[in-house]
């Protein structure tokens, strides 16, 4: 099978490329700047695209091809100014429309599309257990996720199986949120964020990649899937687990007002959360390698 990945040089996309290439599949990473694509894994090549159209790569699609669409500007790289919020939304929606355009142009439609999204789709949910049937929220991140998912919805009318990847916080030592979360602990100043009662839906990178491969290989997997571990924790309990994994105390909370002062609106992403559980993923038989946070963190830091 040929796997075409948008966002294939990012943390998740790169790991998916390594996994699928290592399994013997042909992997194509789409990139706006081929000069920056280096160190590709086995069975992987890069193809130019502009992120806004299907030009130059729709010919790659056929009945034995699957698309993993993960492209989008990082939500955690800086304060959410109005211009940055616009880029966060447009980078996802425009690239999604480009994916749909490429599918429409293809003489033979791909067999599957795995569409990136996030558990932020549900908005702040308090202590409520959140499964895939939960309604979308109304905050900025929820609106972005709704638009991101909608950007490729037309693929289903073209006969393409589509699965939605509503991903939690991906744990990896090589990028994402964990290096930033762990730094205060390494300095002896770690602790929960805000009141610590907000839920933190997390997933080990190995399970993020494992779940994506599982969904690629299951011809009956369609619709939304929460890609988060079956045991979400409150921020306070996750901080304790992180402290144990690092052999550091978890004592000093970071006040919510201070986070908002430093991060602006982006602080809401840390101070609100979802008690998301992977109900549909478990129902169709995915087995998590790291269902517990302390186990996952010790794997990453030991």
Confidence (pLDDT) at 262? 52
Confidence (pLDDT) at 28? 96
Say whether 202 sits in a helix, a strand or coil. Answer: strand
Distance of CA 9 to the CA centre of its chain: 13
Q: pLDDT of the chain along its 302 residues, tens only?
A: 999 999 988 899 999 999 999 999 999 999 888 887 888 888 999 999 988 898 889 999 999 999 999 999 887 777 778 888 899 999 999 999 999 999 999 999 999 999 999 999 999 999 999 999 999 999 999 999 999 999 999 999 999 999 999 999 999 999 888 887 788 878 777 778 777 889 999 999 999 999 999 999 999 999 999 999 999 999 899 989 999 999 888 776 765 555 555 556 656 667 778 999 999 999 999 999 999 999 999 999 98
DSSP state at residue 132: T
Confidence (pLDDT) at 12? 95
Q: Is the pTM of this model over 0.85?
A: yes
Q: Going from the N-terminus, what domains does the chain have, and what CATH number goes with each?
A: 2-168+204-228+276-288 (3.40.50.720)
CB atoms < 10 A from the CB of 282, how many?
15
How far apart, in whole angstroms, are the C-alpha atoms of residue 184 and residue 279?
Answer: 33
Q: Which residues contact 257 (CB under 8 A, 6 or more apart)?
A: none
């Amino acid at each position: 099978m040929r796997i075409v990945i948008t966002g294939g040089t990012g943390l998740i996309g790169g790991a998916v490329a390594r996994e699928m290439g290592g399994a013997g599949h042909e992997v194509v990473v789409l990139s706006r700047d081929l000069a920056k694509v280096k160190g590709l894994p086995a069975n992987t090549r890069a193809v130019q695209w502009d992120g806004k159209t299907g030009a130059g790569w729709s010919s790659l699609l056929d009945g034995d091809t699957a698309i993993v669409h993960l492209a989008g500007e990082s939500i955690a790289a800086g304060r959410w100014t109005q211009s940055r919020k616009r880029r966060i939304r447009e980078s996802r929606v425009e690239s999604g429309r480009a994916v749909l355009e490429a599918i429409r142009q293809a003489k033979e439609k791909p067999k599957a599309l795995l569409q990136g999204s996030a558990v932020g789709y549900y908005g702040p949910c308090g202590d409520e257990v959140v499964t895939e049937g939960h309604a979308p929220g109304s905050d900025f991140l929820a609106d972005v996720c709704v638009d991101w998912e909608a950007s490729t919805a037309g693929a289903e009318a073209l006969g393409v199986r589509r699965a939605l990847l509503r991903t939690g916080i991906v744990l990896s030592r090589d990028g994402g949120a964990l290096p930033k979360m762990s730094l205060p602990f390494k300095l002896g100043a770690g602790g929960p964020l805000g009141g610590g009662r907000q839920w933190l839906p997390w997933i080990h990178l190995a399970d993020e990649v494992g779940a994506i491969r599982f969904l690629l290989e299951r011809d009956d997997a369609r619709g939304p899937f929460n890609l988060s571990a079956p045991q979400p924790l409150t921020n306070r309990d996750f901080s304790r687990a992180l402290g144990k994994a690092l052999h550091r105390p978890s004592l000093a909370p970071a006040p919510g007002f201070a986070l908002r002062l430093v991060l602006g609106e982006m602080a809401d992403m840390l101070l609100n959360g979802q008690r998301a559980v992977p109900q549909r993923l478990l129902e169709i038989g995915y087995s998590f390698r790291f269902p517990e946070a302390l186990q996952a963190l010790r794997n990453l830091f030991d």
